[in-house]
Amino acid sequence: MLIHNNISLRDKNSFGFDVTAEYFCRANSVEEIREAIAWQRQKQLPLFILGGGSNTVFTRNISGLVLHIAIDKLHTDTTGDLVSVFAGAGINWHSLVESTVLKGQYGLENLALIPGNAGAAPIQNIGAYGKELCDNLISVDVLDQQTDELLTLQTDDCQFGYRQSLFKTSAGSKLIVLGIKLQLSTVDTPVINYAALREALPENDITAEQVFRQVCALRQSKLPDPAKLGNAGSFFKNPIVESQHVDTLRQQYPHLPVYPQAGGCFKLPAAWLIDQAGWKGHRVNGVGVHDRQALVLVNHGTGNGQQIAILAEEIRADIRQRYNIDLEPEPVIYQ
């Protein structure tokens, strides 16, 4: 295992911010992760775990060791209609979705083209077009940095919610995801309850492969490709508010879209709130708000993480003032 010194992370974060890692290493196995942790402990350096870098905002150089998890094992077991797939944390998420769908193993089609690696998928319980990772997840293999134990957490142990999991809490922050086990099926039963997806598909005889292609087309039509325009997907979570709050907002904004949630609350599209507030296409220094999806902040090429953090705070302050809503950033911002 090689440990590099003073490495640029530009091609290792989807915003393309040119920060450096004091030390960097790529771990292809649990043994290599353990080796890297032992080295970092012996040198008393901070440790930073990096997956695909698609949900990360670097605002400064990273001191200590950046450990990139690159485990790429893939293992499939089929029993009758059921297919269980174990995917190493370092496998690119979209390649996994595409390869399973094309092999006739269905379940992940709605989650096509989400940037990042399989290991990051449970951390924020990735979701899109009517499905979330937890719908098809069996378990997550982790290494506990504190105890050096290898654990398999069942889906119920992971405290999944909307863009939320155990791994985002302090109790789970020392767990390194090594791989995930997914439950897929050879039976083609597409999920098409997301309005924008259903409207874009024919009325009858829809297949999972069609869903896969349509989700790709929808995402490509409004979300920028990080390889061309740096971004981290949705920058804010969609806020969940009480029905009274919706009633107040509706008096001023009668066209406000709302999605009813369990417990009488409503999820509001942050993109709509930001768009109505006039931020779409806004550009400042080298960063801005995407001109086709107001929820996506972008690096126009010369921007940096500090500028993104400032822009995000300006948007949050404006949204708070206009709608009395506090938007929560989705990516992790390293200040």
Which DSSP symbol is given to 226? T
Closest approach of ligand EPU to the CB of residue 271, in Å: 3
Closest to 71 in 3D by CA, of 85, 86, 88: 88
203 is known as an active-site residue: no
215 three-state secondary structure: helix
3-state secondary structure of 279: coil
Least Å distance, CB 77 to ligand EPU, is 30
Query: What is the arrangement of strands in the sheet containing 296-299, beginning at the earlier edge strand?
Result: 230-234, 296-299, 287-289, 283-284
Under DSSP, the state recorded for 22 is: E
Closest to 122 in 3D by CA, of 84, 148, 89 = 89
289 touching ligand EPU, by CB under 6 A: no
Nearer to ligand EPU, 234 or 307 (CB): 234
Rounded distance, CA 129 to CA 132, Å? Answer: 9
Nearer to ligand EPU, 237 or 316 (CB): 237
Q: Which residue number, 65 or 192, has a Cβ lying nearer to ligand EPU?
A: 192
> Binding to ligand EPU (CB under 6 A): which residues in 172-201?
194, 196
**Closest C-alpha among 280, 285, 265, 274 to residue 321:** 274
Closer to ligand EPU by Cβ: residue 21 or 298? 298
Active-site residue, from 14, 54, 139, 234: 234
Q: Is 94 in the site for ligand EPU (CB under 6 A)?
A: no
Using CB positions, name the residue nearest to ligand EPU: 233
Judge whether 179 and 141 are in contact, CB under 8 Å. Answer: yes
Rounded CA separation 275/277 (Å) = 5
116 binds ligand EPU (CB under 6 A): no
Q: Which of 54, 163, 165, 219 is catalytic?
A: 163
Binder among 65, 118, 295, 327 for ligand EPU (CB under 6 A): 295
Q: By the criterion CB under 6 A, which residues form the site for ligand EPU?
A: 128-129, 194, 196, 223, 233-234, 237-238, 257, 269, 271-272, 275, 280, 293-295, 330
